[in-house]
Amino acid sequence: MIMWGGATAASQYEGGFDKKKGIDTQDCRPYLPRNSNATMQTRLLTKQVIQESKDEESKLYYPFRVGTKGYEYVEEDLNLLKELGIQIYRFSLSWARLFPKGIEEKPDMEGVQYYDQIFEFCKQNNIKIFLTMNHYAVPLYLVENYGGWTNRNMIRYYLNFANFVFERWGSYVDYWLPFNEINAGYFSPYNGTGLIKPESEGYDMQKVFESLHHQFVANAKTIQLAKKLKVSGEFGAMISCFCYYPFTPKPEDNFKLVKEEQVNQWFCSDVLMKGKYPYYMDDFFEKNKVNLNITKDDKKVLSEFPCEFISFSYYSSSVVTTEEVEKTAGNLVITTKNPYLQASEWGWQIDAIGLRTTLNKVYDRYNCPVIIAENGFGAKDVLEKEQVHDLYRINYFDSHFNEIIKAEKEDKVDIRAYIAWGIIDIVSAGSCEMDKRYGVIYVDGDNEGNGTYRRYKKDSFYWYQDFIKKQTNKI
């Protein structure tokens, strides 16, 4: 049976920047009022932007330093999740909260104690844990002093972090995820790997894929370390999935789809699941002048320590074409507008059948357990008399849950869990704003950090609570 759960991410949820936490890459992203370029600007950070973020006189607001104040509200939030009845909770650790610079030998104990209470609460209340070890946020010190993931030494620092996590919380975790949406390192390099953008040009593809390669090796060595320490739980890979459709039946559109899907969607998971680089990247690397230093030891550890389950995020489908047609937004990407689908206020195209299609494609490709690690509906909720009437989110859940159940019952896909994204309202990683809410629990904060930050249960809270009860009773 499918477990039904919810997720948060440390950088978008916790806040607590005034504690002993070190500054990380997400803490440098400013809120910019939404326009045609704002979302892109908050994901393409240069040295100048990062330098300004460290200036105490800066007039910009940095929302990830506040999140939705999960550091302060953790006890209340955990009790709300218990009341909701989720069976699995996906959360992430802040590397910089545990190791402020990323190079320390021992962690900061205040950060450790913060996470202790989450692990203990889940254990005591029989809530399974899906732990994201690193969710987009890299200690800024490592980026500025070592070049971040372009430097092979990052593997050593990551393993030091992982070793502590295993020793402290290894017995609590059911599902381990070393890196969130690892393919974002290609299409959103700052988020995925902390790669700083040159001032007047695009990203260097050599550095992009060096960074990804070092994450691949770190992922495999993390599994190797866990096996050595006899850590329980299964290890998985996670990618962002887009469910590509060709815009027309033209062969050219379909062939372009195949090539884009290979690089954007499948490349990273193919390496982590199959333990080697796929054939189709040879031509891509040659055309983009990418020459990676893949050692014999790299090849050996990748082949010997692949992932055991596959997980993915899915919010909307995408369209591929060779023609110049109207564009719209997606999860950290731009895509072609689909005339057959409705879209959210942010342009993300709503496609429940696309989720079922993706489940089939992923399961067919890897033939292992599948987890939907992120899914949900971002919308501008309105709090009126301490209530939020979010029928649009309920309708989104209902349509997508129906397709998930079909994929399990009719298509026989081995689905372990569904995890609703931003189960408690969090700051959007795509647009750095609070307006784009996903939660079934409303947090009273706005785009510039104003508000009480009190929690309120939305209509979708009660709907999801009832849904989980009904699914549990079927067992």
pLDDT of residue 33 exceeding 90: no
| pLDDT one-digit tens code per residue, 417-427 | 999 999 999 99
The predicted pLDDT at position 332 comes to 58
As a whole number of Å, the CA-based R_g of the chain is: 21
* pLDDT, average across residues 347-351: 88
Query: Of 14, 181, 234, 433, which residue is the catalytic one?
Result: 181
Averaged over 170-179, what is the pLDDT?
A: 98
Mean pLDDT along residues 27-36: 84
pLDDT tens per residue across span 43-84: 788 999 999 999 988 999 999 999 999 999 999 999 999 999
Tokens of 209: 């894929």
**Which residue bears the tokens 């610079």?**
101
Tell whether the model's pLDDT for residue 36 goes beyond 50: no
Q: Which of 51-65, 88-102, 164-178, 330-344 has the lowest mean pLDDT?
A: 330-344
Catalytic residue among 210, 234, 261, 374: 374
Q: What is the mean pLDDT of the chain?
A: 94
Position 442 pLDDT exceeds 50: yes
Domains of the chain listed by start with CATH number: 3-473 (3.20.20.80)
- Neighbour tally for 313: CB within 10 Å: 24
- pLDDT recorded at residue 330: 62
pTM of the predicted protein model: 0.96
Active site residue 181: yes
pLDDT at 339: 86
Catalytic site includes residue 374: yes
**Helix, coil or strand: residue 182:** coil
pLDDT tens for each residue of 230-267: 999 999 999 999 999 999 999 999 999 999 999 999 99
What is the model's pLDDT at position 334? 75
Split at pLDDT 50, 70, 90, the class of 35 is: low
Backbone phi, then psi, for 353, in 5-degree steps? -65, -30
Containing 319, the helix (H) or strand (E) segment is strand 318-320
Q: Is residue 441 helix, strand or coil? A: strand
